[in-house]
Amino acid sequence: MDLTTNYLGLKLRNPLVASSSPLTRHLNPLRQMEDAGVSAVVLYSLFEEEITLETKMLDRYLTEGVESFAEALSYFPEAPTYRAIGPEAYLEHIQLAKKHLEIPVIASLNGVSTGGWIDYARQIEEAGADALELNVYYLPTNPDLGSAEVEQLYLDVLRDVKKTVNLPIAMKLNPYFSATANMAKRLVAGGADGLVLFNRFYQPDLDLTQLEVVPNLVLSTSDELRLPLRWIAILYGRIQADLALTTGVHTSTDALKGLAAGANVVMMTSELLQNGIGRVGEILAEIVAWLIENEYESLEQLRGSLSQINCAAPAAFERANYMRVVSSYGPGYV
């Protein structure tokens, strides 16, 4: 069975990619994931805050509202508490991974401004990364900040990085744009080679005993697959960029759904953290078995077959789905 796929100009042996996670921080698990069968790895993110805390634009975003909430800055960690591996070590990690792995190594930059991290994009390229994923993790809480300005932030970051490096670039997006399809189109026009759907914004929790806001990490479940699945299906064939589905991929069925929607690759993290790296081999074997059972000759034959442009009922991805779901449920009342 031919499982090969193309992503960011890279020919991959199969569509399973290990996304950015603690597993990609060290060489041993990277080797284990390669041996298990992943076709590429996205390294853990290098945060803009690890590069500089003095960028004027970054300072603007971090200090918005501080006058009203004096504790705001105290919630942001001091550099030593999160700099487990700093910028220089990150570059060394790329070099080490490239030396010992045969599969492509994709670096990840996480930030909000066009400041110092742009220079590190160039150094990441020089360190040997095969591609770069830009994770613009920004939640606009300022009520005076309009959608156009927020969208321009993403486009500016992409523009400046694109001018800096020749690496293929994927933009990792959040699902909260008011016009997601248009934003995707603009990013591709701005030079994005791929889109990763979607980033998970980790929501804080409230501790009623201590009266504190506390960080809260919850790993994904297969139920979260449907949001990126829908948008992959909508965008497939409408934009000229590769599509990566991330969030909610735990089983071979999840992976197959993502591919049928139109994804070039499906990315996994939570399943590997919960149930071990060996799950990669199991999922690949199940994908092959399903394709053979359903008489597919290659993975490419499946890709996009259930996208909106190829679906017999394209309205199922739009408002009609909402109407049907709402009217279909009944608790048994007459």
Q: Average the pLDDT over each of 9-23, 125-139, 207-221, 237-251 and give the range with the smallest value.
A: 207-221
Residue at 179 is within a domain:
yes
From the CA atom positions of the chain, what is the Rg in Å? 21
Cα separation, 41 vs 13, in Å, equals 13
Give me the chain's average pLDDT, please. 85
Enumerate residues 6+ apart whose C-beta is below 8 A from 46.
87, 90, 107, 108, 109, 110, 117, 120, 124
Residue at 333 is within a domain:
no
**What is the CATH number for 130?**
3.20.20.70
Closest CA to 251 of 217, 210, 211, 280: 280
What's the domain count of the chain? 1
Closest CA to 290 of 188, 83, 282: 282
pTM for this model (two decimals): 0.84
Residue at 334 is within a domain:
no
Quick: pLDDT tens for 91-144. 999 999 999 999 999 999 987 766 666 778 999 999 999 999 998 877 777 888
Residue at 86 is within a domain:
yes
Residue at 200 is within a domain:
yes
Q: Which domain holds residue 64?
A: 5-328
Quick: pLDDT tens for 73-89. 444 444 444 444 568 88
Residue at 17 is within a domain:
yes
Closest CA to 264 of 294, 290, 297, 240: 240
Would you say 246 and 40 are in contact if contact means Cβ atoms under 8 Å apart?
Answer: no
Does 325 score more than 80 pLDDT? no
